[in-house]
Amino acid sequence: MMKRRLLSLCLALIAITFLNACKKDKLQELSLVDLTIKLENPPGLTDIKLSDLKVTFKELNSGKESTTTNVSDGQVKISLADGSYDINLEGNITYQLDGKTITGKTRAYQSGVILKGKQQTETMKLFLYQGGSGFVIQEIFYTGTVTPEGKQYLGDKYFKIYNNSDQILYADGLVIAQSKFFTTIKQDYKPNIMADAVAVDAVIKIPGSGKEHPVAPGQSIVISEDGINHKEFNSASIDLSKSDFEMYYEDSDDVDNPQVPNMENVYSKLVPNNRGYAAYVLARFPKGSADFLSNYKYNYSYNETFDGTIYPIDESEYKIPNSWIIDAVNLSVQSEFQWIVTDPSLDMGWTFCGKVAGDKSRYGKSVKRKVLSTTAEGRQILKDTNNSTVDFEAEARPSLMQ
């Protein structure tokens, strides 16, 4: 009996010693980094004063979030465990511009910042933020549908563009473009133009001379891949025969409904990626499509690594200046996301349909902008903070699906 008690006591002491050793190892593994972030003010402004700044740090591996309001003399200071972080700053800004004192909102965003070592210094560029009050991308149905037999069905994707203002706006000349770069593949593209423009590989435009396509406040227009009643071919699909516009490409096996006006094809063929790897922008060209194709070529290079071998790649596409862009939405897949492919001033977040690559449950779902409020007259005001993560309902039921 005594031997058993001694054995149990010894085992207990060994267990306690082992647990304490594990705790010490974990404490040794946990390395804190003293991080300093230098804030770079927006250019062209004077007498800048910042207030009510809040900085959020999200560790990408654990999902843990930390926040601080410790900002002084244009610097943020915080101690964080080493790891990879997305950093998001929001606050108020007062500044002088053209002799006037202006108060507004400011933001900054940086993705995939790797913290290691004892001390580290980063720089973040502040930009001004003004909530949208014009056209916004209301919904993107990009996943498509499947037939009752389980086969993938093509042609029933669509975009909805919404007038989020309180006055009539004209859709003539609105441009929709698909990003060249994927949110699921991060490369060191050179030159990196994201601070000034978005690289695109397909561009379409609403026709019209300027005031042919009015959109009333609180109303939307639908731009479909094929403007037909898809339910005649797939009972699980959508009737898009009443679309305002459709995409049509003469040199391909495409459907053209003469009752639905065609979009103008500016560059290449816009076929929405049904996994949601790209970003989409809504824009206007101030000088027309011909000027765009003549003057906005984007030549870039990057290194592709395959089986340990590096292959230099040179490619060419087009770029849309950020100043032309009205709205932007980054799409991705939860398990595959690596970075946003627009400047944070256009979109600081991303939304999705599908949690893993090849997720078959994504079919028949869309991303849909949330309603912020409703006016006394019943007009909905949609949420537009230039952050698709909070502005959109992910994996929503498409609004046109019955």
Each residue's pLDDT tens digit, 230-252: 999 999 999 999 999 999 998 77
pLDDT higher than 80, residue 17: no
Phi, psi of 149 (to 5 degrees): -85, 0
Model confidence at 14, pLDDT cuts 50, 70, 90, reads: low
pLDDT higher than 90, residue 287: no
CA angle 366–371–374, rounded 5-degree value: 150
Least confident of 21-35, 52-66, 334-348, 387-401: 21-35
pLDDT tens, position by position, 62-114: 999 999 999 988 999 999 999 999 999 999 999 987 788 888 889 999 988 99
Least confident of 10-19, 218-227, 299-308, 324-333: 10-19
- Predicted confidence at residue 401, as pLDDT, reads 95
Burial class (CB in 10 A: 0-12, 13-18, 19+), 380: middle
Measuring CA to CA, how many Å separate 366 from each of 13, 223, 275, 369?
A: 58, 14, 11, 10
Model confidence at 306, pLDDT cuts 50, 70, 90, reads: confident
Beta bridge partners of 284: 174
- Residue range 20-24: mean pLDDT, rounded: 49
- Residue range 335-351: mean pLDDT, rounded: 96
- Who has greater pLDDT, 108 or 402? 108
- Predicted confidence at residue 24, as pLDDT, reads 46
Phi, psi of 61 (to 5 degrees): -80, -40
Q: What pTM does this model have?
A: 0.84
Would you give the end-to-end CA distance of the chain in angstroms?
75
Q: Specify the residue for token string 């010693």.
A: 17
Average pLDDT over the chain, rounded to an integer = 91
Question: Checking DSSP bridges between strand 220-224 and strand 245-246, what pairing results, if any?
Answer: parallel
pLDDT higher than 70, residue 3: no
- Residue range 117-135: mean pLDDT, rounded: 86
Identify whether 191 is preceded by a cis peptide bond (ω within 30 of 0): yes
pLDDT higher than 90, residue 53: yes
List, in order, residues 6 or more apart from 228 with CB less than 8 Å away.
155, 240, 241, 255, 257
Gap between the Cα atoms of 25 and 17, Å rounded: 12
- Predicted confidence at residue 8, as pLDDT, reads 55
